Every structure is written in structure tokens, then in C-alpha cells.
A and B are shown apart, each in its own frame.
Chain A
Amino acid sequence: MKPLSKEIVSYLEDQAFEIRRLSVEMIAYGQWGHIGGSFSMAEILAVLYFHHMTIDPRNPKAENRDRLVLSKAHGSPALYAALALRGFYPVEQIYQYCEPEGLEGHTNPHGAPGVETAGGPLGMGLSVAVGMALGLRRKENPRSRVFCILGDGELNEGNVWEAAMSASHYRLDNLIAVVDYNKVQAKGFVWEEMGIEPVAEKWKSFGWKVIETDGHDVEALAETFYRARWIEPSGSPICVIAHTVKGMGVERAEFNYKWHTHAPDPKTADEMIRELAKRYGKPEIGYSRVNEPVKKETFYGGE
């Protein structure tokens, strides 16, 4: 693959920044969501949606499109942000995150063009991706690929390995799993909660080809996806293990399970976005709705 031009690298990094910024906007305004797992896959989504995948926002169901299943569906803010930025729906729609008739907390295709599947319970997405990859083969569509982004903690789920077994059994080389290996799951470090190492060997022993990469380096990711699509396929599904940092971009969230599920208050959201802008060399910008009242959980009765 030709190396990416400086302009493209910078463009993709801009998109990753915007994915993070909009994730904070949506989680802070919606008062629910997962910052750590959204930040860790910002570059992965930026490279897939703005460089690698064949997709058409004007025709989200085009037969020749690439499919992306977000198995770690709690990372929905990053996906919704990527799709909005890519033009599948207006960016303004992200402020309907977690509202009735709006963008669902965990992914749901209703009302969100570009979202392919419903998810939430971990471990399920790779099976759906296997079905899609089989379906593409039935339809004799050799061009499209099915991407499936999994979390690292998600690999605790037995369903993942059932799916992995069947993907290599059916020789699905049109299927590319991407493990967002951010080292932290909901309540602690992966190695403390339930160790998954040696993770590359696990995928290999299930009959997959494995490519490890830096999940925050857009050039490395672009090269990796190019290889996964054009060079590696030869009868085995491909697993990209993307080494990432949970909460990447904001110091207080990095490798910190306390920001797995946590909605910042407007002041904290403002600080986070300012920190992101500084870190990624952007003009100073803060949380756009810092002065709006925070949505409060209400209860019936009592004080």
C-alpha cells in the first residue's frame, strides 16, 4: 500500500478528534454512556469510515457496501458520531442520544442509518457478522467485507469463541474481526478481571489469521486494514488486534475503569473537550452546551 499522504493522515486524525469530541457532547448531554470504550476506538472508526470502508451515506443499504457490526455496542457514541460526521444523518441528531425515538443507548438500527445491527449484551456481534459473511458469499458478493469490532473484556464471553470456531470452519475470509484491546473492562484491568492472554494465540488456534497493530496510529491502521482486505485473505477469517488505551485522549479516563460507564457533568465535559483540543492540537473549544441544565433522573414520591 502506498503510504498515506500527510493531508490524509491529518484528515483522519481530525475525524478521530471529532469522534471523541462528539462522544463527550452526546454522553454529557444524554447523561449516560461509555467514554472509555468510545475513545479507545476513535482512530479505528475514523480509518474505517473515512478511509477504508466502501459506504454511501446516501444509500446506507447499498448491496456492495462494507458492513460493520459493533459487537461492543456500548461504544455506540463513537459509532453514532462517526456516522453523523460521515453524513448518514445530521450531527444535531446526536443530542437525541438516549432519548425516546432518538439514538438508542446501545446500538439499534432504528432511526440511525448506517448502524447495521442491534446489540448490547456482549459476545453476540461476531455471530451476526458470521451470518452476514455467509450471506454475502451466498449472494456471490466477493467485494464487500464484514467488520466486527469487539472489546477485549468481551472475549470473556463463550459466544465469541463459538462464532470464531464457525468463521474458520466456513473459511470466511470476507470477515475481519477487530479487537479493541484497550486493556480495561467494566470494573478493572482485563488481566485482573479475567485474563485473555495469550490472545493472539487464541485466535490463531481457532483458525484465524492475526494482525497486531497500534490502534491509535491511523497510518498503521490503514495499512492493517489494507492487508486484511487485499493481502491476507486465503480461506481464513482475519483478526486485527488493535492495541489501544481505554479512555485515550483525556488523562483522567485513560486506563481508568471508573470512566467505563460514567457521564460527566457539564463542567467536567467542558474540561475534557478542552483537554482533547489541546492534546490533538486543535483551536480551543469547550462543551457546546455547558450552560444548559443537566438532565436529572427523577423518581416518583418522596423528596
Chain B
Amino acid sequence: MVGNKESQTMVAEKGKQPIGGARKELRDAFADALLHLGELYPQVLFLDADLHTSTKAVVFKERYPNRFYQFGIAEQNLFGAAAGLAWEGFIPFPSTFASFVARRALDQIAISIAYPALNVKIPGSYAGVPTSRAGASHNCIEDLAVMRSLPNVKVADPGSYRDLFTLMEEAVKTPGPVYFRVARYAVPEFLPPEYHFTWGKGIRLREGEDVTLLGTGIMSWFCVLAATELEKGGVQAEVIHMPSIKPLDKDLVLESVRKTGCAVTAENASIVGGFGAAVLEALSESWPVPLERVGVPDTFVESGGTNELFQRCGMRPEDIVQRAIALVHRVKGKKR
């Protein structure tokens, strides 16, 4: 079963997705998928900018030393060389931190890769807030806005191990440039076993009538946690996970908000131009509803512990709960 929305929804509901369970690091999914793809596709190459132990791609280097290229601390050249290898028929994964993808090498990505729609798969590691106290230089909050504005580029923010693994399988099968995030974070598997990432498809994790929680990346896990809390207060939240940000599953968003009448988006990125903005664009053009955006407010994210930063940015599950209750109250006059 690949990308069948209806049956995925059904299974997710029937199984009453377990809350908790063993947390799995998304970087491990990245490393495992690289090895898997390396075995399947001899044309897959890994290009590094002196970060392969941080990104956990070191396993690829050890398994396939001849398909691993070190480019040093030179991201502009990293992406240019990826373009050249793609012109020669290879499938390069030029890899660095998300902040250096979206800030340092944007011109190279736009003109050398995106414009001719080359088959380059770009992971943005350490995306968003969790970067181990590195501070504003490394907390990449603008990549979703920046990358989704590039024509020809598909953009995804996977939320769990299964999500990222299957996304990478899909990315290699998809011709053209792909940008996907790899958060330095661990979440329990919240997607059903038969789930497989599909471009332009979201998955309904929970049915509800009062408010739609639209999550992307690891924030979908926070939405799941928030929905459980909301239920205790009598608010039935529908939870939808949308790893595919471009293209966006507009149909699923519309279907849900037509029922609930309001929505909260949650993203591990700036609310300016990112996932929430993409949802707003889609809704404004067809079925506007009151909507709250949870994510990094319009500010740089400085050093701190991850939980502390989530708190500072108002991105914790309890923040989603509060925003959702206030929204429902405002829209429907419901009391807590």
C-alpha cells in the first residue's frame, strides 16, 4: 500500500495510535535510508561539507567510501558540484545544515540546480529549533519559506522515522530537485506501519469535529499530544500530519476545515512564509477559516535547551492546546 490516504486514515484511527513508545532519532532514519538507497541505487552519491558525523551520514562513508565526496567547508561549491554530477546522470545528496542550505548556497541551488530541475536530493539537517544550543546562526527557521518559493523544488518536513525513511525512498524515485528536512530530534513512531510518504498527501491521524490541528515535521507529534489533552477538556481535535509541504494536500485540508471550521498549524520553523503560510494561501483562495499559526514567531532563535526554546517560541504541546482552545472559544463560543 503506497500513499493511499483513505486506508492510511482508517488504520490510524482503528489502531488508536499509541501515545509514547520508544523515541527514534530522525537522523538515524536518515542514516538507515542512505544505506538502503545506496544499496538499491548505484547512482546515489553522498556529498558532504565537513559534517558527516553530525548528520550521521558517516555510515554511508564507511559502507560506500567511493561514493562519498568530501567538499570541505564550502557549501557554494558543494551544491555546484552536485549539479555537475546530476548533469552526468548521478543522484547526489549534497548535505549540510539546513541554515547553510537555505542561506549560504541559495543562489547555487536556485540557478545551478532548481532552474534546470536537476535530480539533486537536498537534506537540510538540524532543521528548526532543536540544534543543541548552537544559537541563531544554526537554528534554521526560514528554510521552509525560502525553499518552497523556488520553482521546480519539492519540499518536505518528515515527522518520524518511518516518515523520513519512506520520504527518502520516494525522493530518489521522484525526478527533479527535492528539499527535505532532518530534525535533530527524536519522536515515537506516530505513523501506522503501512504508511508510506507520498508527495501532496497528508494523513489524518485522528478524527475530530471542533478544530483541525495541521502539523508538519516533528510538530505533528506535538499535535497528537495536544489532541489527547484537548479531549480531556472536551475539545475534539482532528489531527492531520502533512509532511509534503510542496505540493500541499489542499483537498485534505479543505475537507477537514469544512467540517471543523477552524485550524491550528504547527511547524518547527518561522511562521513567516512557512508551512502555516502555505496552508493559509491554500485556504484563502478557496475556503478561508480562522487559523492560528504555531511556530517560531518572527524572531531569531538564540541558544538554549530544546525544551526551553520550544517554550520561548510557544511551540510546546501545551501551547498548541491553549491556542486551540482560545480559537475554538473565539469561533464557536465553546467554554473550556
Contacts and interface: CB of A to CB of B under 8 A. Distances in A.
Nearest to B80: A127
A117 B69 CA distance: 22
B87 A166 contact: no
Contacts, number: 100
A180 B136 CA distance: 41
Contacts of A135: 84-85, 87-90
Contact of B77 (A109, A116, A121, A163): A163
B111 A131 contact: no
A138 B86 CA distance: 12
Interface string A92-130: 000000000000000011100000111111011111111
A159 interface: yes
B72 A166 contact: yes
A124 B72 contact: no
Given A117-B112, A159-B108, A165 B87 contact: no
A131 B86 contact: yes
A220 B304 CA distance: 62
B166 to A, nearest CB: 28
A2 interface: no
Size band of the A side of the interface?
A: 20 to 34
A128 B76 contact: no
Given A159-B108, A163-B80, A131 B74 contact: no
Nearest to B79: A127
B90 A128 contact: no
A282 to B, nearest CB: 37
A135 B88 CA distance: 6
A136 interface: yes
Q: Among the interface residues B77, B86, B87, B89, which one has the most CB atoms of the partner chain A within 10 A? A: B77
Contacts of B81: 127-128, 130-131, 134, 163, 166
B90 A127 contact: no
A120 B88 CA distance: 21
A132 interface: yes
Nearest to A71: B80
B84 A132 contact: yes
Interface in B60-79: 69, 71-72, 74, 76-77, 79
A72 B85 CA distance: 20
A117 B107 contact: no
A139 interface: yes
B80 A118 contact: no
A121 B45 CA distance: 26
A245 interface: no
Interface in B89-106: 89-90, 92
Given A109-B116, A138-B88, A166 B77 contact: yes
7 contacts: A118-B115, A124-B107, A124-B111, A127-B83, A134-B81, A134-B85, A158-B76
Sort A-B residue pairs by CB-CB distance and give the 3 closest, nearest first: A131-B84, A127-B80, A135-B88
